[in-house]
Structure 1
Amino acid sequence: MSVFLLRRLLTFAATLLVASVVVFAALELLPGNVAQMMLGESATPESIAALETKLGLNRPPVQRYADWIGGWLQGRSAVSVSYDTPVPQLIAERLQVSLPLALMAMALTTVLALALGVYAAARHNRLGDVGVMALSQVGISVPSFWLAILLIWLFAVKLQWVSAGGFPGWGDEDGVWGGVRALLLPAAALAAVQAAILARVTRSAVLEVMREDFVRTARAKGLSKRAVLWRHVLRNAFVPVLTIMGLQFANLITGTIIVENVFVLPGIGRLVFQAIANRDLVVVRDVVMLLAAVVIFINLVVDLLYALIDPRLRHSS
Structure 2
Amino acid sequence: MTNYLVRRVLGVVVVMFAVVTGLFLLLHASPVSPVNQLAPQVAADPVARAAVEHRMGLDRPLPTQYLDYVGDALRGDFGTSLYDGTSVSGQLGRALPISLELGLLACVFAVIPAVLLGVWSVLRRGGVVDHGTRVLSVVAMSLPGYWLAVIALVVVGDSHPDLLPNAGGFVTFGEDPATNLKVLVLPAIVLGLATFAMLTRSLRGGLADAMASDHVLFARAMGGSRLLTLRRVALRGALLPTLTVAGVLLGGLLSGTVLIENVFQIPGIGQLMVTAFQRQDYPLALGACVATSAIFLLLNLVVDLLYPLLDPRTAAGVTRDKPGRAA
Using the size of structure 1 for normalisation, the TM-score is: 0.92
Give runs of ≥4 in structure 1 deviating > 4 Å.
none
Q: Which residue of 1 aligns with 2:141?
A: 140
> Is residue 2:245 matched to residue 1:249?
no
Alignment gaps of 5+ in structure 1: none
Instruction: Tell me if structure 2 keeps the 8 A contact 1:35–1:48.
Output: no
Question: How many Å apart are 1:237 and its aligned residue?
Answer: 0.7
The number of residues matched between the two structures is 314
Alignment gaps of 5+ in structure 2: 319-327
The within-5 A match list for 1:259-270 is 259-270=260-271
The within-5 A match list for 1:1-317 is 1-28=1-28, 30=29, 32-39=31-38, 43-44=43-44, 45-160=46-161, 162-163=163-164, 166-172=169-175, 175-316=176-317
- CA–CA separation in structure 1 for the residues paired with 2:48 and 2:193: 48
Instruction: Give me the identity figure in percent.
Output: 32
Larger displacement relative to structure 2 (73-82 or 239-248): 73-82
Structure 1 residues 202 and 110: alpha-carbon distance in aligned structure 2, compared to 1, 3 A threshold: same
> Any idea what SS the aligned residue of 1:293 has?
helix
Structure 1 residues 64 and 160: alpha-carbon distance in aligned structure 2, compared to 1, 3 A threshold: closer
Instruction: Tell me if structure 1 keeps the 8 A contact 2:164–2:264.
Output: no
> C-alpha deviations, 1:162-194, integer Å up to 9, x for none?
23565212233xx21221111100001111121
Q: Which amino acid in 1 is paired with 2:106?
A: A
Q: Which amino acid in 1 is paired with 2:274?
A: F
- CA–CA separation in structure 2 for the residues paired with 1:110 and 1:138: 17
Q: Which residue of 1 aligns with 2:321?
A: none
- CA–CA separation in structure 1 for the residues paired with 2:219 and 2:33: 65
> C-alpha deviations, 1:247-274, integer Å up to 9, x for none?
1121111121111111110001100111
Instruction: Tell me if structure 2 keeps the 8 A contact 1:152–1:164.
Output: no
Question: How many Å apart are 1:150 and its aligned residue?
Answer: 3.3
> C-alpha deviations, 1:193-245, integer Å up to 9, x for none?
21111111111111111112221232233332222223321221111111111
Q: Which residue of 1 aligns with 2:325?
A: none
Larger displacement relative to structure 2 (204-213 or 183-192): 204-213
Instruction: Tell me if structure 2 keeps the 8 A contact 1:120–1:203.
Output: yes
- CA–CA separation in structure 2 for the residues paired with 1:249 and 1:181: 22
Question: How many Å apart are 1:33 and its aligned residue?
Answer: 4.9
- CA–CA separation in structure 1 for the residues paired with 2:148 and 2:31: 39
Question: How many Å apart are 1:157 and its aligned residue?
Answer: 1.9
- CA–CA separation in structure 2 for the residues paired with 1:52 and 1:257: 30
- CA–CA separation in structure 1 for the residues paired with 2:39 and 2:17: 32
- CA–CA separation in structure 2 for the residues paired with 1:154 and 1:231: 44
Q: Which amino acid in 1 is paired with 2:58?
A: L
Q: Which amino acid in 1 is paired with 2:252?
A: N
Q: Which residue of 1 aligns with 2:324?
A: none
